[in-house]
Structure 1
Amino acid sequence: MTRRRAHHGDPARPVRLAPSDVLRLGLLGIRVRRMRAALSALGISIGILTLVLVTGIPASSQRALNEQLAALGTNLLRAQPQPNQRPPVLLPPEAAKMAARIGPVSRTSAVANTHTIVRRSDRTDPNDGLGLSVLASQNDLLPTVNGRVRSGRFLSPSTDRLPTVVFGHQAAARLGIPRIAGHPTVVYVRADEDAMEAVADVLPATVYPQLPGLVQVSRPSDALAAKRAADSTFSALFLGLSGVALLVGGIGVANTMYISVLERRGEIGLRRALGANRRQIRGQFMTESVVLSLLGGVAGTVMGTLATVAYVTYQGWPPVIPMTAIAMGTGGATAIGVLAGVYPSVRAARLAPTEALSTA
């Protein structure tokens, strides 16, 4: 009820309601008509649940796809001398460090060809080109190329001062490799995916500034193009479905609020007769609409998140719930509550006390 107070002979005027009073009045209709309020909130929650699902599931699927594509080396470039050059082009020993100075580059490494072939036995014809080529590598090669050692361990700083090779010192000595090759033959560069083309353009001049035209750089992986296509593709159909669900939920809330105004004309007339002004009546019904929609939005967000996590976990994908979906869930529900409550609250405020009481 609206309280009054007198001011030294002035006519009594309504006391301004505190926010807590407005909220209490807004919750009154929800408490009295719980089943109808629950069904109206259910419409909103279904829309928000759909919104979270259609953003969370594609985002999780996209994350899983991106991880698979990234494992193919989407952000890996190779710089090496042009083949069949006479005399051979020798990249400087510090070529990998030179490439690391490029801004978007995150990791570099290099290998060098020892020009030695490992054959099955010493009886093999030396002129037979079949066999395993032997490469010298830097210690950080494996993380740069996304490689891993299945058993044992790779070269490390602890082996730098020792005459150590991956297949053993004696084998290297028998193959005629007295020292590690000094000039890299391939430089591996891992950079930010968005700057791959820019890095590829400056890489030749960086690793071989004397004659950059004699250095060839591999083009970005086809997997990178596929990954970019996956990043730019979004299901407009699913977003449209969630929008339709939200629209239906909003119409349900508006219908509930409109019926509530018609059923509560007696209450409105009594409050107006006791001094409640139109703004207070509007505030009461607008608050009820917003709270009703917000409850449905919170319920839909929680259910959508749980459903998304359960589904993507079953699929073996990393769960991803975009924060935009959470924000759109609560913010969208609030916006729907405001829009759905505009007309019913205005209609309730326009009811004259005598009209409301006479039709109650």
Structure 2
Amino acid sequence: MKARDLITEAVSGVGARPARTVLTIAGVVVGIGTLVTTLGVSATAGNQIAGRFDAVTATEITVRVPVPTGRNAPPAVSWSAPDNVARLNGVTAVAAWSRTPEGRDLPVRANAVRDPTRIVDRLLPVLGSTDTVPAATRSTLAAGRFFDAGHVCRRDRVAVLGPLAAEQLGLTRIDNQPAVFVDGKAYTVIGILGPPGRPDQPVPATAVILPWTAADDGLGLGPISTVAITTDLGGAQLIARQAPVALAPNDPSGLEVEAPPDPATLRNGVAGDVSGLLLILGLVSLIVAALGIANVTLVTVMERTAEIGLRRAMGARRHHIAVQFLLESTVIGLLGGIVGASAGILAVVAISVAQQWTPVVDGTLAATSPLVGALVGLVAGLYPAMRAARMQPVDALRGPA
């Protein structure tokens, strides 16, 4: 048998049983369509996820300031230094604070009456900060106001409570000008913060926040320990390099800077992780499609035993029979790949339009999907083709017509 005859017989075999052929092609359509859809949607969703990540978290920088080594040693960062950072191009907000050492929080209570039958003192962190904490930590005010530069300059004994600190102290309103007693010293509560918008700065939510001047006078909290910076999108990496110089020009290397990774790296990482996960799902779908083709082709071989015996009796060799069935399964896979790729692209576009996303489709994947379908059909047809080729002419002629 010549190659032309083999191709003609394969095409005729595909068209001889149209219902079974359509069902088999449908299996490949499901596999290829799922592969294209999952990868296309993953690329689109990954792009969307990375964009959201860039907009929210890639603009946050934290600078940790070391504690002075000696009792009379000058502070590593002065309280006027955050103003130098605020003047850097790309900085939207900057705040600095000192806090009580971890594990040595101060007793805080909401009234001056001591009841021996109740524990009214709460051990809470206390911050002495600049007046820009809400902007730098992306916090809102649940009640009242935050202290301003005037309170700081006048060394006013006022306080703002984080939401968790206010809950522990039982303070929910400030219209009656409540006071809190920090280590026995009274501070008027003028505001209560809402939940912080920066997950990397949980301390203000649990703390009593005082003007740094009042905190230094009454509690001796000392110099700056933390500087929180927010930047414009795309400026975090540059500001992270410039901030230590602006804060401590004499010894910038002594500061510890926590900056987000490069947004481009994060974007590629998120998109790659999602694509890898859904690629596995697509490959599983292809395996299911291959099993379907193999099953249907095997049934077809069993139903065409008489035909196989007749062809062997007329001189067809084993490899002719094997190639014929391989070509049939390959053609089925090729047709399924073409239809599946088209359906997958349409699905990606439809989902993107529904979600108001920008569709992202891999052109190389769409172009090679028919070849992938043909390969799946070829692999799936190996066992049925080998079984058909092993049939003896006499045994095959006894099979069902």
Partner of 2:259: 220
Relative to the length of structure 1, the TM-score reads: 0.54
Q: Give yes or no for the alignment of 1:55 onto 2:76.
A: no
Which residue type is aligned with residue 320 of structure 1? Answer: V
277, 295, 298: which one aligns with 2:338: 298
302, 312, 321: which one aligns with 2:361: 321
Q: CA deviation at 1:280?
A: 1.4
8 Å contact kept, 1:48–1:329: yes
1:6-25 to 2 correspondences below 5 Å: 17-18=2-3, 20-25=4-9
8 Å contact kept, 1:268–1:353: yes
CA distance in 2, matches of 1:66, 1:313: 19
8 Å contact kept, 2:336–2:370: no
1:229-308 to 2 correspondences below 5 Å: 230-231=270-271, 233-234=273-274, 241-308=281-348
8 Å contact kept, 2:62–2:259: no
Q: Percent identity?
A: 31
10, 13, 23: which one aligns with 1:39: 23
CA distance in 2, matches of 1:188, 1:42: 51
Larger CA deviation: 36-45 vs 48-57? 48-57
CA distance in 1, matches of 2:232, 2:42: 33
Partner of 2:393: 353
CA distance in 2, matches of 1:223, 1:288: 51
Q: CA deviation at 1:297?
A: 1.9
CA distance in 1, matches of 2:52, 2:262: 10
Any idea what SS the aligned residue of 1:234 has? helix
1:168-203: per-residue Cα shift (whole Å, max 9, x none)?
xxxxxxxxxxxxxxxxxxx99958x9xx59x956x6
CA distance in 1, matches of 2:89, 2:234: 11
1:121-140 to 2 correspondences below 5 Å: none
CA distance in 2, matches of 1:274, 1:334: 30
Q: Give yes or no for the alignment of 1:64 onto 2:104.
A: no
Q: Do the aligned partners of residues 188 and 26 (structure 1) sit closer, same or farther apart at CA in structure 2, a change above 3 Å counting?
A: same
1:12-61: per-residue Cα shift (whole Å, max 9, x none)?
xxxxx23x443322212111111101101101211222222222222212
Partner of 1:27: 11
Which residue type is aligned with residue 31 of structure 1? Answer: G
Aligned length in residues? 252
Q: Do the aligned partners of residues 188 and 253 (structure 1) sit closer, same or farther apart at CA in structure 2, a change above 3 Å counting?
A: closer
Q: Do the aligned partners of residues 235 and 319 (structure 1) sit closer, same or farther apart at CA in structure 2, a change above 3 Å counting?
A: closer
Which residue type is aligned with residue 213 of structure 1? Answer: P
Q: CA deviation at 1:84?
A: 3.9
CA distance in 2, matches of 1:60, 1:24: 43
Larger CA deviation: 249-258 vs 34-43? 249-258
1:225-269: per-residue Cα shift (whole Å, max 9, x none)?
975773464277755554443333222211221122122223222
- Provide structure 1 residue ranges, at least 5 long, that are not aligned to the other structure: 3-16, 92-108, 113-127, 131-186
8 Å contact kept, 1:77–1:217: no
Which residue type is aligned with residue 220 of structure 1? Answer: A
CA distance in 1, matches of 2:282, 2:332: 19
Higher relative contact order (CA 8 A, sep 6+): 1
8 Å contact kept, 1:46–1:300: yes
Partner of 2:381: 341
1:86-235 to 2 correspondences below 5 Å: 110=89, 213=252, 219-221=258-260, 224=263, 230-231=270-271, 233-234=273-274
CA distance in 1, matches of 2:314, 2:285: 41
